[in-house]
Chain A
């Protein structure tokens, strides 16, 4: 699983025999794609750094002449004169949502993975795929009963209901990741623990948990990114603007025509930043999470 993480040779060795024109083509193609992937970044960053007087749709691609954080200020704090609601509140709402949702799912997923990997119980071979099916379903198919149920137990409209929702629908993928992770741990280790007299939790605490750190990082990053970026549940289950997560608030900001688009761009950057930071620092684990199953759409 460290295939992706393997770094290329630190020193590039020149082609041994002769100059290869294909390499120019390779770099040209790679650079072309680099432009494609960075095009939105260019427009996001340059626009959000422009002063209000410079923001002009007819000159979208010009570089800012100065350096202005006004767009970010308005996107974050809001602006009364322009009737812009800032993203600050929803940014913190998202953390209030993501942290518990991530931690709880990871812990439960880890225990589930342990059971499935090391305590094969009757019917597990049928139940496991049935659990996994839950991570692929379109959530529209459960949305109406879900909203009704949360409402009946007074968890509709606030973050608690959304946390519960993300924990439950995050379980299949987290269980899968941990199950596969623990499956790689030699059964002899567990065996040895048992001979030492350790019980179910003893084996987990003393043998599996201490070596679970990479697994936890993968799951935490995965779940953090998925929950932070999620929109369908967020807009359907938390309609009260004072507890909305950031994706809903960003859509709200960008959905109104009269909000200047430089503010929308700054808002988009703010909303993208936390998962991007995780990606930049922990891309190795991020990729593992991706490859472990699917991307939640």
Chain B
């Protein structure tokens, strides 16, 4: 667990020696079996059940199970709301990832410069990680509430901005970026922590050697440090990416779906869809979310798993 760039660490194979070991081996399987069964049911079986629900016509409160194929998906993609959801998810993910990585890297490098009060800065940048998206949503809802013409609220008041121009999450086109701003506030410290761990893992000797060879500070960063930080960037992209795809609570607490669904996301749409008794349509949204997340996660898990086997 010392390395941020991998979720798995090598395990030394253990060679059994005694007869006693055989009994212990059975015990060991018995110990882990309930967990495996629970996960088989609660993860894999339930995913299968959701997939099944998404291809039947259970779109009213009483259960029906007529097979309708991909009709629920077709219907979903034809709605303006879901099209907006996909657009918003894309914008949100890009903005959230890029800004988090940039801020995280910048702060990590700055804090690595042996600054005074480094621990205090670090703790300030990271405390939002400890609190709930709901709390973040409540706070930022008031901060980014534009107020009315002539009576600006929130940051518009603080920076003397016109609430009709700076409408933040009330803007149908760009509202989603305001939600991303709150998400960046909460999560950028995480990326910073990852990069700090990465930077500290790079031995000083490597940098010193390069400096002795006459490399400028920028060249040291470009040709030595950045390449070494690449696996961390990958992990950060995967982890932040899967959070952003399934984001729900922050939007729920902060802006709701917004005008013309400018801040709507698939998870919120699913919540409303189920509330209208459309279980099959809701399951279809869930399956699309799962597919999006899996595209990101499965290669990552396989990649890590292969690496481990090689070691």
Contacts and interface: CB of A to CB of B under 8 A. Distances in A.
Direct contact between A and B judged by beta carbons closer than 8 A: yes
Contacts of A168: 38-39, 42
A180 interface: yes
Nearest to A119: B28
Contacts of A36: 185
Interface residues of A, number: 111
A121 interface: yes
Interface in A32-47: 33-34, 36-40, 43-44, 47
A137 B46 CA distance: 12
A6 interface: yes
Interface in B3-55: 4, 7-14, 17-18, 20-21, 23-25, 27-29, 31-32, 34-36, 38-39, 42-47, 49-50, 53
A159 interface: no
Contact of B43 (A29, A133, A199): A133
Nearest to A132: B301
A152 interface: no
Contacts, number: 317
A6 B24 CA distance: 39
A136 B282 CA distance: 20
Given A58-B157, A121-B25, A199-B27, A3 B200 contact: yes
B228 interface: no
Nearest to B154: A60
Most buried by B among A125, A143, A146: A143
A276 B249 CA distance: 19
Contacts of B62: none
A294 interface: yes
A209 interface: no
B153 A60 contact: yes
Interface in B151-168: 151, 153-155, 157-158
Contacts of B266: 140
Question: 8 closest pairs, A vs B, by CB?
Answer: A229-B132, A297-B243, A138-B246, A1-B2, A279-B130, A142-B46, A119-B28, A145-B49
Interface of B: 1-2, 4, 7-14, 17-18, 20-21, 23-25, 27-29, 31-32, 34-36, 38-39, 42-47, 49-50, 53, 103, 106-107, 110-111, 113-116, 118-119, 121, 123-136, 138-143, 147, 151, 153-155, 157-158, 185, 187, 189-190, 193-194, 196-197, 200-201, 239, 242-249, 252-253, 266-267, 270, 274, 279, 282-283, 285-287, 289-290, 293-294, 297-298, 301-302, 304-305, 309
22 contacts: A30-B110, A40-B185, A119-B14, A119-B25, A128-B305, A134-B39, A137-B43, A138-B245, A141-B46, A141-B286, A141-B289, A142-B50, A168-B38, A199-B23, A199-B27, A232-B248, A250-B135, A268-B135, A272-B135, A293-B7, A294-B7, A297-B244
